[in-house]
Structure 1
C-alpha cells in the first residue's frame, strides 16, 4: 500500500538542538560556571537528565519551570558542580534566547517543498511542552508547509512517544491506516520503534551516529538522501 501521509519529529530532526546548546555551554563556561569536560560529554549527560526530568513533567509530578531547572542542576551535579537555582535560570534564559534563532537542517525545506508538490499529507509529531514546541515550530515557519491543525504535541495529547496511544491518536486524526503513514525522526526508541509498533513505515535520521541499529528501517544521515530516495521511486 502506498504512502499517503508523512510525519516529522521536531527536536534534533527538523533542526539541531546541539548547535544552540553549544552556544549556551560556551557562555556558561566563560562567565557562570565551568566544568572540566567537553561539550559533547556534557550534552550527552544533559540529554539523559532532560529526558528523566521531562518524564516527571508529563506525569505531572513537576511543573514546567521546575523540570527545566532541575535538568540543568542535575547535569552540573553529575560533573561535580553544585549550582544555584539562579545559575540554572541563567542557563535556561540563554537557551530561550538561542532557541529563537533555530534554523532548519540542510535539505529540510527542499524536502518539504517536494512532498507538498507531490500532495502527501504532512504532519508534525513531537514530544514536549506545548508552548515550547509551538514556539519552535513558529520560529521555523513550519506552517508554510504543515497547517497548525496537523501539529501533534505530546503535552496536548495526554500521551507521549513511544507510547502506542499517541501514534494511534495521530493515525485516527489523519484518517489513514498505519501502513499508509511514514514517520521521520532522530530518536531510535521514541520515533522509529514507536512508529513501527503502530505499523507505520519509518526513516531513521541517524544524526547521532548510532551503531548496531537493532531494527529494520531505512537509515539516512542527511535530508538530501530522503529526497533522492523519493525522486528515484
Structure 2
C-alpha cells in the first residue's frame, strides 16, 4: 500500500466497518425468534449480508424507499435464516426486520475508530464516509455513532442521496472528482468484498479490506487490496507506515 499523505482522502464504510453490525442482528433474532446462545449468529449474519447484496443487485442498486425496499429487507431474512432451519413467513420476517432496524440505532463504534479518524484529520488528511442505503436511515446511524461530530456533512456520501450505489465505480469517480483528487489519492476502507473492495478498486482507489470476520473473497481474480482485521492494523497501515 502506498503511503497516505495530506494530499490523500480516506473514506470509511459504515455498516460493519465503523461498528459491529452483528450486534443488532443477534439482538433482533433473540428478541423476535427466541434464538438461544447456540444459534450460529455469525454464519447466519454473513448469509443475510450476502442476500442483501444479491437482492440489491437484482433490483439495480440498493432500494431507498417503498415496497421494493421492504420486499428486499424481508426476503433477505427469509432466505438467509431458512438456511439455518428457521422457516419464516413474510410477516415473521417483517417482524425480525423491524426489530433489526430498531436495534441499529443503539450502537457504539469499534474501539479505536473515532481516534483513528481524529488522528488522520490532525495530519491534514481528508476523511469521509461512503455508505449504501436510504439517506435518513444511514444518517441516524452516523449520528448514533457520533461520526457527524467529526466528519462534515459534505464528506458524507449516501447512495440514496447521491443516486449511485456501491459497487458502481461511478460513485467513487464522482467523489474523487468533487474533491479534485486522482484515484491514487483516494483510499477506501470497508468490510464488503463486493461493494467495497471490488467497487473502489474498480475505480482505481487504494482499498483496505476491513475483513475483521476472516471471510474469503467472493470473486476471482482478486482486485488489488490490503487486508486489515482490526483498528490497530488500520492505524498501522494508515499512520505508522505512512510516516
Name 1:54's counterpart in structure 2: 56
Q: How does 1:1-233 map to 2 (within 5 A)?
A: 2=5, 3-30=7-34, 38-55=40-57, 56=59, 58=61, 62-79=67-84, 81-211=86-216, 214-229=222-237, 230-232=239-241, 233=243
* Aligned-residue offset at 1:228: 2.8
* Aligned-residue offset at 1:59: 7.0
User: Superposition RMSD on alpha carbons, in Å?
Assistant: 2.6
TM-score (norm 1): 0.87
Cα deviation code 1:71-104 (max 9, x no counterpart) = 2233344445443333223212211221111110
* Contact 1:99/1:136 (<8 A) preserved: yes
* Contact 2:9/2:126 (<8 A) preserved: yes
TM-score (norm 2): 0.83
**Please, which moves more after superposition, 205-214 or 165-174?**
205-214
**Please, which moves more after superposition, 156-165 or 74-83?**
74-83
**Please, which moves more after superposition, 192-201 or 161-170?**
192-201
Distance 1:107 1:59, change over 3 A: closer
* Aligned-residue offset at 1:125: 0.8
* Aligned-residue offset at 1:181: 1.0
Cα deviation code 1:185-207 (max 9, x no counterpart) = 11223212322222211212111
Unaligned runs of 5+ in 2: none
* Contact 1:111/1:224 (<8 A) preserved: no
* Contact 2:62/2:133 (<8 A) preserved: no
* Aligned-residue offset at 1:38: 2.0
Unaligned runs of 5+ in 1: none
Q: How many residues align?
A: 230
Cα deviation code 1:110-158 (max 9, x no counterpart) = 1011011111111111112222211111111211211111111112222
Secondary structure at the counterpart of residue 63 of structure 1: helix
